[in-house]
Copies of this chain bind each other. A is one copy, B any other.
Amino acid sequence: MTTSARWRTAASEVLRAGAGFALADVDPDSTPGYTGRKRDGVDDLAEGATRLGELQERLFAQSVAGTAEGSVLLLLQAMDTAGKGGVVRHVVGAVDPQGVELAAFKKPTEEELAHDFLWRVERRLPEPGRIGVFDRSHYEDVLIGRVRALAPPEEIQRRYGAIEEFEADAAARGIRWVKVMLHLSREEQRKRLADRLDRPDKQWKYNPGDVDEQERWDDYMAAYQVAIERTSSEAAPWHVVPADRKWYARLAVQELLAEALAGLNPTWPAPDYDVEREKARLAAT
C-alpha cells in the first residue's frame, strides 16, 4: 500500500502550482519527481492500480456503512488529445465502477446556459465515499469562455472569484479536490491530430474545430495561466501534469488520486451488528 520508490518527491508536491507559478516554465516532455523510465512507469501503473483499488474499496465500504466523511474529486482540464480519455480509461477505469461518479461536461445546453455557470457542476459533486471525475468542468467558462469571448470581460473576471469560493465551500463539506491540467506541447498535439486523421478507428475523435483551436494555442495557454494563478488555493490546488508522455501523465494522475484517497485515511467500517450472534443465527438456518 505504499507509493513506488521511484517517486523522488511526492507528486502532489512537485506538480503543484504554487505562488509564482509559470506555465511557460513547465516542459510538457518532462517527468517531474519520477526517476523511472517508460518501462518502470508501466509497471508502477499496474501496481498502483491495486493500491488505488484497495483505498477506493475502503472508501466505498464507508459510504455503504454511512460513515464516509469525504470524497475525492478528480477534475481534468486539457487541450484536445492531451489524454483525458486515457486517464479515465486507464487510471479511473482500474477501480470498481460502483464507487465512481463520472461527469463529462460538453458544450452547455440551453437549460444550462439559462443558469449560472456553476449550476451544472454543483449538482454533479460526488456523494461522500465516492470518487468523482469531472471530464472538463467549470473551468471551460474561463478558458474557451475567455479565448472566444463567450461572456463579457467583467463576467469572466467575476468567475475566478466565484470558482474559488465554490471550491472552498465544497472542500469544507468534505470534497478533496484533485485539479489537474494535462499539459501538452503544441507540436505533440499536431502529431496526435495528424494521427487521428490517418486512422479510420480514430477519425471519429477529430473534428475540424480542433484546428481552429490549435491556431489559438497561445491564447489558451494564457487563459490557463490566469485561471491557475487565480484559483490554485489551499483548499483546491492545481496540479500541472506534463502530458507529452502518456505513460507519465497516467502515472502522475494515479499518484495524485492515491495520495488524496490515502489522505482521507479510509478504514474498514466496524460492523453495526453483533458478529458472533449473526454467526449463530446463520448456522441455525
Contact = CB atoms under 8 A, between A and B. Distances in A.
Nearest to A211: B281
A93 B96 contact: yes
A20 interface: no
B96 A197 contact: no
Contacts of A270: 203
Contact of A197 (B100, B102, B282): B282
A123 to B, nearest CB: 15
Interface string A250-285: 000000000000000000111101010011011101
Interface in A89-137: 89, 92-93, 96-98, 100, 102, 104, 135
A247 to B, nearest CB: 18
Copies in the assembly, this chain = 2
B282 A211 contact: yes
B89 A268 contact: no
Interface string A22-54: 000000000000000000000000000000000
Nearest to A217: B285
Chain A contact patch, size range: 35 or more
Interface string A172-211: 0000000000000000001001100100110111111001
A230 to B, nearest CB: 29
Nearest to A54: B201
Nearest to A58: B201
A207 B89 contact: no
A271 B201 CA distance: 10
Contact of A85 (B98, B197, B273, B283): B98
A72 interface: no
A240 interface: no
A225 interface: no
A149 interface: no
A211 B271 CA distance: 15
A215 interface: yes
5 contacts: A64-B205, A200-B268, A206-B271, A206-B273, A215-B285
